[in-house]
Amino acid sequence: MSPPDGIAMPAKPAATGCHGGAETMQDAARAAGKSAMLDRLAADYPKGPHDQPQSMCPAFGSLRVGLRMRRVATILSGSACCVYGLTFTSHFYGARRSVGYVPFDSETLVTGQLFEDIRKAVRETARPAEYDAVVVINLCVPTASGVPLDLLPKEIDGVRIIGIDVPGFGVPTHAEAKDVLAGAMLRYARNEAEAGAVASPRTKLADGQRVTLIGELFPADPPVVAAMLAPMGLAIGPQIPAREWRDLYGALDCSIAAAVHPFYTASIREFAAAGRAIVSSAPVGESATADWLDAIGKAANISAKTIDIAKAQALAPIRAAMAANPTTARLIVSGYEGSELLVARLLMEAGATVPYVGTALPRTEWSEPDRAWLEAQGTHVQYRASLEQDIAAMRDVKPDLAIGTTPLVQAAKEQGTPAVYFTNMVSARPVFGTAGAAALPGIVATQCKGRERFSRMVGFFEAPGSTKPAKAEVV
């Protein structure tokens, strides 16, 4: 994929893991018997052109998915510094739950005692009155040392035991780590459902055909989607990642899995194994919503006439919301949530110019409609975007507003460009349907007004008589 005129992409940065030793860790893990697991991760979460986007420890994604579930205990196995960072971050994001930890030293690691300690911790934690499942997450060092979580019991007194390896040298982003745990749970739940009767979700499932939405969504988004599907007689079921174990059965019990976040490769594999249709893209803006409702309707064998009725009801208010919230801003969009292409597509339909979209996630077949649409408008779509590529794009595009990761926002503000953190923007607002068509262009218009303020700030901090910002001096 070549960049459009005017955007110079920097050379590929050198591959580095969290501690600069990804290849060493990979070699150690393979020597310790983890080759099949690493091959699976490499196939599910392909790397390149940049080997590992700069973001937080990937294991946070798995930890977060476990911590957000009712009646699920989560135990980390890893270096104390990694566990400190992960627990700090999870409590910063309001986990309000304890995180289990099995510590180790070089002796317990090399003698195999660490695995025995993990097994003991799992036995003590698996109390059926309190938990449906116990999740154990191997971080980098235990994974590289071959700690065999697959040898843990699969179940203790009815409590499911899920052991997963989530090494930073195998899972590129925290977004994909969400899929590692969600996929492992779906696999377990699918096998249970295929073996016999399972519990119903706490909230009764809607009658008729259901659509399961895959992705962590703003709470107002699923009801918006449900309203768009209702004219076709379709409903939504529990989402993935699930909030309770029994919701996994409800999520699997659908006609269609909608990959609205396009990187849940392991989860989608389980829906496909269960015989469910998979639909790409998502209902953002007018054209994507029309295409998405068409695809959903066809997958559910709904008549063309009924699909047209659903489209007419959904599209008119979206069109009106966009007309009421126009934008002419020039933007770049970059993030590591996996919804970057959708957000860019929505903003372009609202009138924005978006020459560059970067995402830390890989290219998958479920974002293909959005990639094709964006590139047809002349937008450069950069999968596995590095910070260096995002910054180079910002310098070339000279946007009115940069929507991006924390370091990109910092770089933008240093040069006086208004900028907003992608995650904060999309996680606190609806994206789908009419609500998204009003909310996102609105925030862009508000943020763009800050340009003059940023210019004043840059001017204020510049040293007198200098064209460079003032530097602190040690006296």
Q: Which is nearer to ligand SF4, 95 or 278 (CB)?
A: 95
The residue count for binding ligand SF4 (CB under 6 A) is 11
Residue span binding ligand SF4 (CB under 6 A) among the ranges 32-40, 78-86, 252-260, 339-347: 78-86
Pair of tokens at residue 415 = 């040069």
Taking the C-alpha atoms of residue 102 and residue 321, their distance in angstroms, rounded to an integer, is 52
Nearest alpha-carbon partner for 205 in 242, 247, 244, 243: 247
Task: Using alpha carbons, list the distances in angstroms from residue 101 to 108, 138, 359.
Answer: 14, 11, 32
Return the residue of 7, 9, 18, 314 that touches ligand SF4, per CB under 6 A: 18
Cα(182)–Cα(242) distance, integer angstroms:
8
Give the gyration radius of the chain's Cα atoms. Answer: 23
Nearest distance in Å: CB 79, ligand SF4:
6
Q: Which is nearer to ligand SF4, 140 or 444 (CB)?
A: 140
What is the distance of C-alpha 471 from the center of its chain? 38
The position carrying tokens 């890989």 is 362
Considering only residues 37 through 76, tell me which ones interact with ligand SF4, judged by CB under 6 A: 57, 59
Nearer CB in complex with ligand SF4: 62/389: 62
The smaller minimum CB distance to ligand SF4, of residues 144 and 307, is found at 144
| Residue 273 Cβ vs ligand SF4, minimum distance, rounded to whole Å | 30
Q: Which is nearer to ligand SF4, 17 or 215 (CB)?
A: 17
Q: Which stretch binds ligand SF4 (CB under 6 A): 77-85, 253-261, 391-399, 433-441?
A: 77-85
Q: Which residues contact 148 (CB under 8 A, 6 or more apart)?
A: 33, 115
State the nearest-atom distance from the C-beta of 468 to ligand SF4, in Å: 35
Q: Which of 437, 432, 459, 355 is nearest to 401 (CA)?
A: 355
Residue whose beta carbon is closest to ligand SF4 = 168
Shortest Cβ distance from residue 8 to ligand SF4 (Å)? 31
Residue 108 neighbours by CB under 8 Å, 6+ apart: 114, 117
Which residues inside 147-186 make contact with ligand SF4, applying CB under 6 A?
168
Residue 139 Cβ vs ligand SF4, minimum distance, rounded to whole Å? 4
Over the window 85 to 124, marking each residue x when it contacts ligand SF4 by CB under 6 A and - when it does not, the resulting string is x---------------------------------------
Q: How far apart are the first and last CA of the chain?
A: 51
Reading the block at residue 179, the tokens are 């899929």
Q: Does 78 bind ligand SF4 (CB under 6 A)?
A: yes
With vertex at residue 217, the alpha carbon angle to CA 38 and CA 292, rounded to the nearest 5 degrees, is: 90
Choice between 59 and 394, CB closer to ligand SF4 = 59
Q: CB of 174: closest distance to ligand SF4 in angstroms?
A: 9
CA dihedral 342, 347, 349, 354 (to 10 degrees): -90
Q: Which is nearer to ligand SF4, 57 or 186 (CB)?
A: 57
- Residue 335 CA to residue 292 CA, distance in Å, equals 23
Query: Is the Cβ of residue 95 or residue 458 nearer to ligand SF4 in the bound state?
Result: 95
What is the length of the chain?
475
Helix axes 340-349, 433-448, angle to 10 degrees: 80
Q: In this complex, which beta carbon is closest to ligand SF4, that of residue 55 or of residue 447?
A: 55
- Give residues with Cβ within 8 angstroms of 86, minimum separation 6: 57, 59, 60, 63, 76, 78, 99, 139
Residue 436 CB, shortest distance to ligand SF4, in Å, is: 33
For ligand SF4, the closer CB: 171 or 252: 171
Over the window 124 to 143, marking each residue x when it contacts ligand SF4 by CB under 6 A and - when it does not, the resulting string is ---------------xx---
Question: Applying CB under 6 A, which of residues 15, 19, 442, 455 lies at the interface with ligand SF4?
Answer: 19
Q: Report the nearest approach of ligand SF4 to the CB of residue 97 (Å).
A: 19
Cβ at position 58, least distance to ligand SF4 in Å: 6
Which residues, including other chains, have CB under 8 Å from residue 122's CB and lie 6 or more apart? 75, 134, 136, 152, 153, 156, 161
Rounded to an integer, what distance in angstroms lies between the CA atom of residue 52 and that of residue 361? 10
Binding site for ligand SF4 (CB under 6 A): 18-19, 57, 59, 78-79, 82, 85, 139-140, 168
